[in-house]
A and B are shown apart, each in its own frame.
Chain A
Amino acid sequence: KAGVTQTPRYLIKTRGQQVTLSCSPISGHRSVSWYQQTPGQGLQFLFEYFSETQRNKGNFPGRFSGRQFSNSRSEMNVSTLELGDSALYLCASSLGQGAGNTIYFGEGSWLTVV
């Protein structure tokens, strides 16, 4: 069974540009969540989707947005990139939205903003 797939794995963007990251969850998983990981801030929760609806949102500015499609795939978008947005962006999926469901992570997308 394929794991969580994130694309692209690595990308470099210029300050002010926007970026879209994609995530394909494990087959059958309907919940997708996104995290930002940086050396200074650790793992920060961005948002979580279930059945195309945002269920939870972290404390990030409106420049960060996401969506989930009917096939459970998800994308996140960051507009007007800042240098501080350089991070590893991790997508995770789980079978359902129950609290006991295990979330499984992808390998991440490394974003560098220059």
Chain B
Amino acid sequence: AQSVAQPEDQVNVAEGNPLTVKCTYSVSGNPYLFWYVQYPNRGLQFLLKYITGDNLVKGSYGFEAEFNKSQTSFHLKKPSALVSDSALYFCAVRDSRGYQKVTFGTGTKLQVIP
């Protein structure tokens, strides 16, 4: 079975400060990991994914995520937060073995304070 955990329901950060949104996962095989962002009353937008290769993945809007196999984590980061980054962020995992569905975390609300 695969699972993903986002331990923080909400993260508050001041504009201009670095931000981190945490994600840990559990899969039987190798993980394929994804981050999505959802703005109010909208669908989910893809930010970035890790399949293989470099542990630091760069994505849209200046976001990046670091894959850490030993800690089974895939934290989302941005060096300097913008007020417009305020949204709901979802981490997702899919086992590379077999044909599994994508499992999403419960989401973390990011609030960037001006």
Contact = CB atoms under 8 A, between A and B. Distances in A.
Contact of B100 (A42, A56, A102, A107): A56
B102 A103 contact: yes
Contact of A100 (B51, B101, B106): B51
B43 A99 contact: no
Interface stretch (B62-70, B73-81, B90-98): B90-98
Given A42-B106, A45-B101, A56-B100, A100 B43 contact: no
Contacts of B96: 99-100
B95 A99 contact: yes
Contacts of B97: 99
Given A99-B96, A102-B46, A106-B43, A33 B102 contact: yes
A108 B42 CA distance: 7
A56 B99 contact: yes
**Chain A interface main SS type:** strand
B37 to A, nearest CB: 11
Contact of B104 (A42, A48, A97, A99): A42
A58 interface: yes
Interface residues of A, number: 22
Nearest to A103: B102
A48 B102 CA distance: 10
22 contacts: A33-B101, A33-B102, A42-B104, A42-B105, A43-B90, A43-B104, A45-B101, A55-B99, A56-B99, A58-B101, A90-B43, A90-B44, A97-B99, A99-B99, A99-B100, A100-B49, A102-B46, A103-B34, A103-B46, A105-B43, A105-B46, A108-B43
Interface of A: 4, 33, 35, 42-43, 45, 48, 55-56, 58, 90, 92, 97, 99-100, 102-108
Interface of B: 32, 34, 36, 42-46, 49, 51, 90, 94-97, 99-107
In the A-B complex, the 4 residue pairs with the smallest Cβ-Cβ separation, listed nearest first, are A105-B43, A43-B104, A105-B44, A56-B101
